[in-house]
Amino acid sequence: MNREKFLIFNFQFSKRRSNGVTSLATVIVMGAIVLEFAITGALLVYFLNTSNLGFKLAGEALSAAQSGVQDALLRITRDRTITIAKLTYVNLSKETPPALPQTFPSAVSVTITASLNGGVYTITSVGQSLTKFRKLQAVAAVDAFGKLTVMSIKELTN
């Protein structure tokens, strides 16, 4: 029997030191390459999930701003003598039904201003969901008979 070689799990090792040093370096280099691929994959998944979350938050902020505009239009319809109003709503989605995906708390800040000659209202609504903000501006007119007409709704960029 040859005493210079021995087997561990069907791998043949030699007692000479140069072969062991070479295999240790090879194992370390291969392990570093595998670790690099694992870190790259984890970062890729993280950034993809973060971008999807950003789209969802922006959509929720836009919905919050739209609900602020709708509420302001309702307030103008009920009270046509309103001149200036600042409204703030926080935590619009306190609870999520079990069947729906997780929603994040939203907040809306609405400003209603009337023109000097009366009858024309400018509504500015800023919706926020975590770190995303969306800003809408609506212009509505009320005629002498009390009919409310929305002239424009547009999104403002910061």
Residue 15 lies in a domain: no
Instruction: Please check whether residue 33 lies inside any domain of the structure.
Output: no
The verdict on residue 80 lying in a domain is yes
Q: The CATH number of the domain where 48 resides is what?
A: 3.30.1300
Within-domain flag for 137: yes
**Would 105 be classed as within a structural domain?**
yes
Residue 36: DSSP 8-state: H
> Total domain count for the chain?
1
Element (H, E) at 35: helix 17-78
Structural domain of residue 97, as residue ranges?
Answer: 38-156
| CB contact at 8 A, 132 and 61 | yes
22: in domain: no
Q: Are 119 and 145 in contact (CB under 8 A)?
A: no
Show contacts of 145-149: CB within 8 Å, 24+ apart: 146/80, 148/73, 148/76, 148/77
Q: Which one is predicted more confidently, 38 or 87?
A: 38
Answer yes or no: is 57 within a domain: yes
Q: 143: pLDDT confidence band, cut at 50, 70 and 90? A: confident
Is residue 24, in this structure, part of any structural domain at all? Answer: no
Q: What is the pLDDT of residues 48-58, one digit of tens each?
A: 777 777 888 88
pLDDT tens, residue by residue, 17-32? 555 667 777 888 999 9
Encode pLDDT of 78-98 as tens digits. 887 887 888 887 765 555 444
